[in-house]
């Protein structure tokens, strides 16, 4: 069974999508449609913008989504997924590719999500940190311990065994990093992000996005999506909708997602979009698995 996976924020780079735009009339049409929908020429920033411009959340999220989904559309009938999943923002790309969402609706939701998350970041200064080579249970226990002091610290991304990302208040994350290093973490590295994604601190964004998601048509997908919140296969449109709302404040269970896809019969993984981060994570989760990127 063929599994297709889609990257999230952080995989962007200057020049992304330019080759697609220039070589495929279909891609060019879709990029121009996206410029019209967004109300600004995101292609100018994607193709020639600085790293700083590309890092702005209102640009990054639609840019990564567009690169993934337009690439998928140019593959045409060569792409027939048996199952899909996306890391955080990548879940929207997965839902456009398995036809749960139309291209236009998914792009509008991604844009609204980016703006809502940016607002939530500005409301409460917060951050995230990568924790390497420490047992998940130890990381979870230390996060819970620090949270008892009145700070917010939670596990946000289960990327692969020995690689977790934690999310929360600036003081809470700094304290947790010290404790995690003392407990044996190889690295406890503060990430250059705008805020505490996938934590309770994104609640204002979740509330804002909820109305937009509930007002959007979710179709019967052509194959199951393995969602971040549950790590399980979902094909029911209303359940997909509910999980997508919960995703903003819940952890990304990527390790569990890949393990479940393999248990359900995935024989190969193909990453669609900028970068090769996810295929690397797949190999770390199961070294025997075939993983590639387009």
Q: Is residue 272 within 8 Å of residue 2, measured between CB atoms?
A: no
- Are 71 and 44 members of one domain? yes
18 plus 108 within the same structural domain: yes
- Cite the active site residues: 88, 198
Non-local (6+) Cβ contacts of 72 within 8 A are: 4, 79, 93, 96, 97, 272
Separation between Cα atoms, residue 174 and residue 188, nearest integer Å? 9
Of 137, 159, 190, the one marking the end of a domain is 190
Boundary-marking domain end, from 190, 223, 241: 190
Please give the pLDDT value at position 48.
96
Same domain? 31 vs 111: yes
Residue where a domain stops, chosen among 145, 164, 190: 190
Residue-level pLDDT at 55: 86
Show the domain range for 171.
125-190
Together in a domain, 21 and 50? yes
Largest CA distance in the chain: 56
Report pLDDT digits (tens) over 192-247.
888 999 999 999 999 999 999 999 999 999 999 999 999 999 999 999 999 999 99
**32 and 12 in a common domain:** yes
Answer whether residue 205 is part of any domain: yes
155 and 26 belong to one structural domain: no
Looking at the predicted structure, is the pLDDT value of residue 10 above 90?
no
Do 26 and 109 share a domain, yes or no? yes
pLDDT in tens, 181-195: 999 999 999 998 889
Q: Is residue 195 part of a domain?
A: no
CATH assignment of the domain containing 239: 3.40.366.10
User: How far apart are alpha carbons 1 and 286 in whole angstroms?
Assistant: 16
Whether the Cβ atoms of residue 157 and residue 251 lie closer than 8 Å to each other: yes
Q: What CATH code is carried by the domain that includes residue 179?
A: 3.30.70.250
In the chain, the DSSP E strands lie at 2-6, 83-86, 126-132, 153-160, 163-169, 187-190, 225-226, 233-234, 268-271, 290-293
pLDDT tens track for 123-155: 988 999 999 999 999 999 999 999 999 999 999
pTM: 0.96
Distance of CA 140 to the CA centre of its chain: 21
What is the pLDDT of the chain when averaged over all its residues?
96
Cα(206)–Cα(36) distance, rounded to whole angstroms? Answer: 26
Domain co-membership, 281 together with 146: no
Q: Is residue 132 located within the same domain as residue 186?
A: yes
Measure the CA–CA gap between 217 and 104, rounded to whole angstroms: 11
Q: How confident is the model at residue 56 (pLDDT cuts 50, 70, 90)?
A: confident
Task: Name the residue among 149, 161, 152 with its Cα closest to residue 125.
Answer: 152
Same domain, 27 and 112: yes
What total of structural domains would you count in the chain?
A: 2
Instruction: Tell me the average pLDDT across 171-186.
Output: 97
pLDDT at 61: 95
């Amino acid at each position: 069974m063929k599994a297709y996976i889609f990257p999230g924020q952080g995989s962007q780079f200057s020049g992304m999508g330019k080759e697609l735009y220039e070589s495929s009339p279909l891609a060019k049409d879709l990029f121009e449609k996206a410029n019209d929908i967004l109300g600004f020429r995101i292609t100018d920033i994607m193709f020639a913008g600085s790293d700083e411009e590309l890092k702005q959340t209102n640009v990054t999220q639609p840019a990564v989504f567009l690169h993934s989904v337009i690439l998928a559309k140019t593959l045409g009938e060569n792409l027939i997924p048996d199952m899909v999943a996306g890391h955080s923002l990548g879940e929207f790309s997965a839902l456009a590719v398995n036809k749960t969402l139309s291209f236009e609706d998914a792009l509008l939701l991604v844009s609204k999500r980016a703006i809502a998350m940016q607002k939530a970041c500005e409301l409460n200064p917060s951050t995230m940190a990568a924790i390497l080579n420490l047992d998940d249970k130890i990381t979870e226990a230390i996060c819970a311990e620090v949270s008892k002091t009145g700070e917010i610290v939670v596990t946000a991304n289960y990327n692969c065994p020995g690689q977790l990302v934690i999310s929360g208040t600036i003081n809470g994350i700094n304290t947790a990093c010290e404790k995690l290093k003392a407990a044996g973490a190889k690295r406890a590295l503060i990430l250059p992000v705008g805020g505490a994604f996938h934590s309770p601190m994104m609640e204002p964004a979740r509330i804002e996005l909820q109305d937009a998601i509930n007002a959007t048509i979710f179709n019967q997908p052509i194959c199951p999506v393995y969602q971040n919140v549950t790590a399980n296969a979902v094909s029911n449109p209303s359940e997909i909708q509910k999980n997508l709302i919960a995703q903003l404040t819940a952890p990304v269970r990527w390790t569990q997602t890949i393990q479940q896809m393999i248990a359900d019969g995935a024989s190969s993984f193909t990453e669609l979009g900028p970068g090769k981060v996810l295929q690397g994570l797949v190999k770390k989760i199961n070294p025997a698995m075939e993983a590639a990127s387009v």
